[in-house]
Chain A
Amino acid sequence: DTGVSQNPRHKITKRGQNVTFRCDPISEHNRLYWYRQTLGQGPEFLTYFQNEAQLEKSRLLSDRFSAERPKGSFSTLEIQRTEQGDSAMYLCASSLARGGAVRRQGNTEAFFGQGTRLTVV
């Protein structure tokens, strides 16, 4: 399967514990995105990477959240000192962006993984 892969699929943790999720994008994709989705809502943007550089972070990404993409391939999302409000589906997506320094080219279609369901008890 050459799609976006996320691990684990489910995580149950006690409040106050740290958790880490992993995302493996489609291999040739240079852009990687993290979104969070709560029940009955659409996904909300958290952050994105172009290769290994983290280029944008949402204000939803508090100090307890950190994301990395050290070699421009897979990415990790860590949540420290989890709270019950962190319970959600965490979705990863990737896309291939072409173009010069300013203007985007290509269709930049985003492909999503199956998500990691986090439950904080």
Chain B
Amino acid sequence: KQEVTQIPAALSVPEGENLVLNCSFTDSAIYNLQWFRQDPGKGLTSLLLIQSSQREQTSGRLNASLDKSSGRSTLYIAASQPGDSATYLCAVRPGANFGNEKLTFGTGTRLTIIP
């Protein structure tokens, strides 16, 4: 059974700092990994998706890396801003064959950027 862990559970950093969020998963046979952002009481906003064959994806100040063999992904946020404050969730989708489509989520890292 796939298990996804995100450490730390909460993180506070001063505005302007670069930071890294971590995600680990127990079964390396994944199809892709997706990072989401969730504001309090809201739904999920997709940030980045990395296919199993890729090593990283970038969007603006965000960079996500994937090391499938070691079961790890990181989300790097550059030059953090107060608007980045939210919970960040990673989720993995299992292998390439149809039949098991569910995303398995971590419990998230609650990020607070201090102005």
Which A residues have a C-beta under 8 Å from some C-beta of B?
Answer: 4, 6, 31, 33, 35, 40-45, 48, 55-56, 58, 89, 91, 93, 97, 99, 101-104, 107-115, 117
Contacts and interface: CB of A to CB of B under 8 A. Distances in A.
Contacts of A102: 97-98
Nearest to A91: B43
Interface stretch (B13-21, B45-53, B59-67, B70-78): B45-53
A48 B98 CA distance: 12
B91 A42 contact: yes
Contact of B102 (A4, A48, A109, A113): A48
Contacts, number: 77
Nearest to B90: A42
Nearest to A113: B43
Interface residues of B, number: 29
B1 interface: no
Nearest to A45: B102
Contacts of B97: 102-104
